[in-house]
Amino acid sequence: MDMSKYQELFLSETREHLRRMSQLTIALEQNPSDREGIDALFREAHSIKGMAASMGYERTTALSHHLEDFLDSFRSSGSVPEAAVDRLLAGIDLLEGLLGSIEAGQPEQDVDAFIAAGTDLLGEEPATESESEPGAAPEAVGSTEKVDPAAGSGRSFKVMFELAENTPAPAARALLALEALKTLGRIDSCRPTEEEMKQGFAVRQLAVWLQSEHAEEVIREKVGAMPDIARISFEADRRQEDRPRLDEDVRTVRVRTALLDKFVNLTGEMITNRYMLQSATRSRDWDDVETGLNLLSRLVTDLHYHVLQVRMTPLDGITSNLPRLVRDQARKCGKQVKLEITGGEVELDRAILEDLADPLVHMVRNAIDHGIEEEGTIRVKAWREKDLALIEVADDGRGIDPSSVRKRLSEKNLLTSAQIKALTERELFQWICYPGFSTAAEVTETSGRGVGMDVVKAAVENLGGMLEIHSKRDEGSRFLMKMPLSIAIMKVLLVECAGQTLGIPVTRVLRTLDIRSEEVQLSGRQRIYPLDDEVIPLYPLNELLHLPTNGAAVVHLVITEVQGRKVGLIVERLTGQLEAFVKAMAKPLNRVAGISGATITGEGKIIFILDPQLLFEAEADQFSLSDVEESI
Amino acid sequence: MGVRVLIVDDALFMRNMLKDIFVKAGHEVVGEAANGEEAISRYAELKPDLVTMDIVMPIKSGIEALSEIRSADPEACVVMCSALGQDALVVEAVQAGAKDFIVKPFKEERVLDVVRRVLGN
């Protein structure tokens, strides 16, 4: 029977099981004698074993079987010792690695060492060996270092050996070469396999996929010095590069059958609608044409809504790996960190989710590294508000120190001291996202310095969202991402300016209002307007876009936010809202500053979509918000 | 610094040949054994830096001796001596923990090269 057609399903389901295993394991670390948790974990391992065995993946089967046995021992003892958690996580990582190999069409890695290390452990009374040395090195469990993912954190490459002609006992030589490589890094797989070599397979060439932190020269020196090795060559491991392409090809979505039925029904109705319209046009019955068109419009709206549903994925997809991340990171920093996730069921367009995954990880890491001091809680919360999905990463740590941000700004000569003094806290925090800016005194391994928040902000804004930063000394920080639910279809506010209609994404609009022209005040040459205890600078959109201006009695304002401060755009008319299918600009129009894309209306008119942030960045030389601040 | 070597082979001829190679290179041959059992007791008593171990020997084979020595001293550095055509046995020995192997007829250079390498690691 050809099993290859099941591979994709096997991979996606097994990955889901592994994700749950990882979550359950971390939960058990908090609550080691949770019977249900142990049982659930056991069942996950059992499911993987069954699937892997059906597919004929021997090592994946062996490893999942081993984990199942391992877990079974805790079912009788009733609790999972601390040391076992590390081992379970290492096993889960190893299984992930096996899936990666299977996906890349490579042979499965050797798991014997891991299983052997655990078999010793299985014989022992699992409850006794953990509490002996709390906080002791987790490596103490068997020889898990052989499979410790950290050991393989170096580069991946393929090492090719050629044995000299007439090499005596070539299989033994190849085994020795492999042993030598094992001391230098982690072997992902090799060809011929270790098993084949042990059976005396006549080896002429040996290909090893190795993860190692050592330079090629070191490996060459250590292994190449062996007798009978005629040649060693290195290749970058192409599997990683292949992987995304592979993903691209096989990317799939699971759709509820109810939704598919809906599509079939809608298609049926549209076919009926087509006949109706055809016959109405033939008989020139304009009333029927109009009825038909109304029906068509309803059907298209319905179809559109349901197609978007297919693309909607719950946030769970990108938050499920956070518990593991927090655990590992907190342990590395020597901190006690609790993670609470709420709203994992909130759905967003999968394209948005994919692009949010890294920023989310980054913010959580930041919170552990820089926010939380010794002990604290990180809350990741998501909820819906009208057409927006809000995702917040909050910690109860030390908060951002405004004075250190101010100090940094002046150290880096980013602003003059007068400008720095004038910044509100809200504006000040936005500077954290300035490329190359960081207040962390020390560079930590993961959060690094300077890279990060600028990337987070850029990712959020590229998706049409907004990032807000709130922080209070000793109370903690909140990073709030306001995201649109879908990127393909965007709600835009239509404005008119020198006879042109332009669109502004509603996610970027705080509010609109009309004022009389005499209400506009002047501060120097800058137009300003007092709005809710705040003086906001006004900019005619015509001027920003270098279009002709004309004075009007009523001034229409679109209030937006740039670099954390409110700004008013003066437009000639507010003409309405549109659900726009926005396409990115192609070359060379993508060079036009301030324009993020375009859409075509029903009448065939092109409407450009403005990005206020980009617009002001492009004008930064002429308009500096901070200059304005000074003049007010 | 010379290396302290224990030579294990049932043929005196082979032992002498290896001994000459080692002594000439400045190493010290601290003992000899003619079978596996003798090898085990000599190893325990001498604690040499290196053992050259023939595979096919009476009373106890080289592989059995290797396993016993390694279980008593996991750090033991044992190099197997094999003849052509013993590939399967060499593979077995490597799995049992042999650090390397040399093939008869011995070439002086090759023997010393292996010694350098296994002790250099």
Residue with tokens 């990060």, as numbered in its chain: A452
B contacts of A169 (beta carbons < 8 Å): 82, 86-87, 90-91, 101, 103
Window from A323-337, A387-401, A436-450, A537-551 with minimum mean pLDDT: A436-450
Window from A83-92, A594-603, B41-50 with minimum mean pLDDT: A594-603
CA–CA distance, A591 with A587 (Å, rounded to integer): 7
Q: Is the per-residue pLDDT at A56 higher than 90?
A: no
B117 near A CB under 8 A: yes
Q: Is the per-residue pLDDT at A143 higher than 70?
A: no
Cβ A60 vs Cβ A95: under 8 Å: yes
Q: Which helix (H) or strand (E) holds A463?
A: none
Q: How confident is the model at residue A621 (pLDDT cuts 50, 70, 90)?
A: very low
Give A397→chain B minimum CA distance, Å.
Answer: 48
A100-129: average pLDDT? 70
Window from A192-206, A265-279, A324-338, A432-446 with minimum mean pLDDT: A432-446
Q: Is the per-residue pLDDT at A378 higher than 90?
A: yes
CATH number at residue B96: 3.40.50.2300
Q: How confident is the model at residue A237 (pLDDT cuts 50, 70, 90)?
A: low
Q: How confident is the model at residue A2 (pLDDT cuts 50, 70, 90)?
A: low
CA–CA distance, A182 with A162 (Å, rounded to integer): 18
CA–CA distance, B51 with B27 (Å, rounded to integer): 12
Q: What's the confidence (pLDDT) of residue A342?
A: 92
Cβ A196 vs Cβ A187: under 8 Å: no
Q: What's the confidence (pLDDT) of residue B1?
A: 63
B90 near A CB under 8 A: yes
CA–CA distance, A124 with A133 (Å, rounded to integer): 16
Q: What's the confidence (pLDDT) of residue A339?
A: 92
Query: What percent of chain A lies above the pLDDT cut of 70?
Result: 85
Q: Which of B84, B101, B121 is closest, CB to CB, to A172?
A: B101
Q: What's the confidence (pLDDT) of residue A251?
A: 56
Give A166→chain B minimum CA distance, Å.
Answer: 10
Model's pTM, two decimal places? 0.49
B118 near A CB under 8 A: no
Q: Which residue of A has its CA nearest to B121?
A: A222
Q: Which residue of A has its CA nearest to B118?
A: A226
Q: What's the confidence (pLDDT) of residue A125?
A: 40
Q: Is the per-residue pLDDT at A128 higher than 50?
A: no
Q: How confident is the model at residue A121 (pLDDT cuts 50, 70, 90)?
A: low
Q: How confident is the model at residue A246 (pLDDT cuts 50, 70, 90)?
A: very low
A175 near B CB under 8 A: yes
A49-76: average pLDDT? 86
Q: Which of A101, A116, A95, A100 is nearest to A45 (CA)?
A: A95
Q: Which of A487, A478, A401 is nearest to A439 (CA)?
A: A401
Q: What's the confidence (pLDDT) of residue A252?
A: 65
Query: What percent of chain A lies above the pLDDT cut of 90?
Result: 13
Q: Which residue of B has its CA nearest to A169?
A: B87
Q: How confident is the model at residue A439 (pLDDT cuts 50, 70, 90)?
A: low
Total of domains in chain B: 1
Window from A223-237, A267-281, A509-523, B21-35 with minimum mean pLDDT: A223-237
Q: Hey, are the CB atoms on B87 and A175 less than 8 Å from each other?
A: no
CA–CA distance, B70 with A632 (Å, rounded to integer): 83
A137 near B CB under 8 A: no
Q: Is the per-residue pLDDT at A587 higher than 80?
A: no
**Better pLDDT: A130 or B52:** B52
Window from A369-373, A449-453, A499-503, A594-598 with minimum mean pLDDT: A449-453
- Burial of A15 (C-beta count, 10 Å sphere; 0-12/13-18/19+): middle
ipTM for this model: 0.80
Q: How confident is the model at residue B17 (pLDDT cuts 50, 70, 90)?
A: confident
Give the domain range for residue B71. 4-120
Q: What is the pLDDT of residues A170-225, one digit of tens each?
A: 888 888 888 888 888 888 778 778 887 887 777 788 888 888 777 777 887 777 77
**Better pLDDT: A529 or A169:** A529
B86-105: average pLDDT? 87
Q: Is the per-residue pLDDT at A126 higher than 60?
A: no
Q: Which of B91, B93, B117 is closest, CB to CB, to A226?
A: B117
